Structure 1
Amino acid sequence: MLLSRRSLLLNATLVTAAPAGLSFHRSAAGADLLATPDLAQALRTGAVVAAFRHAYAPGTFDPPGFTLEQCATQRNLDDAGRAQAGRIGAWFAAQGLQPSAVRSSPWCRCLETATLAFGTVERWDALGSVRAGTDAASSQVAALRQALAKVPPGRFEVWISHQFTLSALLGESTASGEGLVLRATPGGGPPTLLGRLPPA
């Protein structure tokens, strides 16, 4: 299912973002430095995924009885989160990086992050929020690992998901708007973490 800016359920305003502002590590002198290895080059080389936790959405959990198809019942991005999503997309554009696919959890805050950053997004249930240790979580992690292994050289995908889902996939915590550049591990084990794209 493809969603565009026009079909996004939330009546969000696209924030004009300042480009080229996504920093990696900062030296004592304040200069932005790419992590090692160069993550932009890793994305260009392909066979990787940039898996992001959704942009900033105030609060912690969704309200009781929330409904996926009704954004008003969920925890959603605020203006700061929308601006953060815009900056994520601006960084990719400034680097000349075009994902071959943008996939998102069906939660509204993830769909909005993906849409504001990249335009068109594919809704994918495997990226939905999971409960660690459940059969559903195991099934989702297996699906994510299989999809990661299928990304070919020369291409990369962007996934927008949740802290719990990314933790189940990799065992790493993430901040709102933070990305993990992942490569499949031979044998289907946990992905290799090439580096982090810190929150914009």
Structure 2
Amino acid sequence: MATVRGLIVVVLLGWTGSVAQPDESVWDALREPGSIVVLRHSYAPGTFDPPTARLDDCSTQRNLDEAGRAQATRVGEAFRRNRIAVGDVLSSPRCRCLDTARLAFGKAQAWGVLQGALNDTELRRRQVAEMRSAMAAHRGGPPLVLVTHGSVVTDLTGLAIRMGEFVVLRRAADGTHGVAGRLYIE
């Protein structure tokens, strides 16, 4: 039993070490052509939108509070302080994601697949395939930014991250993307 526990600890430590990089490594990875940022929206109180939420009416959705808006602004400031200019910024059409993108990067283009599909496994599979296709097409230039929800981040990266945290994906020689690091800006 102790051997199994020890093995689990080793596996978990090895897994964590492969994605938890020092800040500088994250910024260095973002300077590489073809990198991708997968950003979970900044802090929005609560867990899910109510069933009556509509995309065309932010008042029906969960939204960033003052702390979330300030956090999104700090994310953008960190990118500018580290001299990382971003390319396209694609966002879930949910207001908390669009607001995060605009506050951090000054721009956002709504992309429905970044909204996710918690209760529809087949739709979720198709959305992830479409996201991976777009990621594969991003071969160079400044980082592509995807602003989305926790479930989508997990679907794309296998990681569970906090609101306001982002994962940096680095393009591999075979055209796929692997996790280069992650960073949480409070």
Q: Shared fold (TM-score greater than 0.5)?
A: yes
Rounded Cα–Cα distance in structure 2 between residues aligned with 1:143 and 1:185 = 19
Whose helix fraction is larger, Structure 1's or Structure 2's?
Answer: 2
Rounded Cα–Cα distance in structure 1 between residues aligned with 2:59 and 2:23 = 41
1:55 Cα offset (Å): 0.1
Q: Which amino acid in 2 is paired with 1:76?
A: N
Q: Which residue of structure 2 aligns with residue 51 of structure 1? A: 38
Does the aligned pair in 2 maintain the 1:146–1:188 contact within 8 Å?
no
Rounded Cα–Cα distance in structure 1 between residues aligned with 2:166 and 2:101 = 12
Rounded Cα–Cα distance in structure 2 between residues aligned with 1:184 and 1:143 = 17
Rounded Cα–Cα distance in structure 2 between residues aligned with 1:43 and 1:187 = 19
Does the aligned pair in 1 maintain the 2:116–2:127 contact within 8 Å?
no
Rounded Cα–Cα distance in structure 2 between residues aligned with 1:36 and 1:81 = 21
1:129 Cα offset (Å): 2.8
Q: Which residue of structure 2 aligns with residue 196 of structure 1? A: 182
Counterpart check, 1:115 vs 2:116: no
- Determine helix, strand or coil for the equivalent of 1:106: coil
Residues 97/131 of structure 1: CA separation in 2 closer, same or farther (3 Å cut):
same
My pick for the range that moved more, 97-106 or 129-138, is: 129-138
Residues 36/113 of structure 1: CA separation in 2 closer, same or farther (3 Å cut):
closer
Rounded Cα–Cα distance in structure 2 between residues aligned with 1:151 and 1:88 = 22
Q: Which residue of structure 2 aligns with residue 8 of structure 1? A: none
Rounded Cα–Cα distance in structure 1 between residues aligned with 2:181 and 2:64 = 25
Aligned pair count reads: 166
Of 132, 140, 145, the residue aligned with 2:132 is 145
TM-score when normalising by structure 1: 0.77
1:112 Cα offset (Å): 0.3
What pairs with 1:36-185 in structure 2 (closer than 5 Å)? 38-131=25-118, 134-184=121-171
1:131 Cα offset (Å): 1.4
Residues 111/174 of structure 1: CA separation in 2 closer, same or farther (3 Å cut):
same
1:97 Cα offset (Å): 0.9
Q: Unpaired runs of 5+ in structure 2?
A: 1-20
Q: Which amino acid in 2 is paired with 1:117?
A: A
Residues 82/148 of structure 1: CA separation in 2 closer, same or farther (3 Å cut):
same
TM-score when normalising by structure 2: 0.82
My pick for the range that moved more, 90-99 or 146-155, is: 146-155
For the pair shown, the structure with the greater C-alpha radius of gyration is 2
Give the aligned CA root-mean-square deviation in angstroms.
Answer: 2.0
Q: Which amino acid in 2 is paired with 1:198?
A: Y
Q: Which amino acid in 1 is paired with 2:168?
A: V
Q: Which amino acid in 2 is paired with 1:137?
A: R
Residues 130/188 of structure 1: CA separation in 2 closer, same or farther (3 Å cut):
farther
Rounded Cα–Cα distance in structure 1 between residues aligned with 2:47 and 2:112 = 21
Q: Which amino acid in 2 is paired with 1:143?
A: E
Q: Unpaired runs of 5+ in structure 1?
A: 1-33
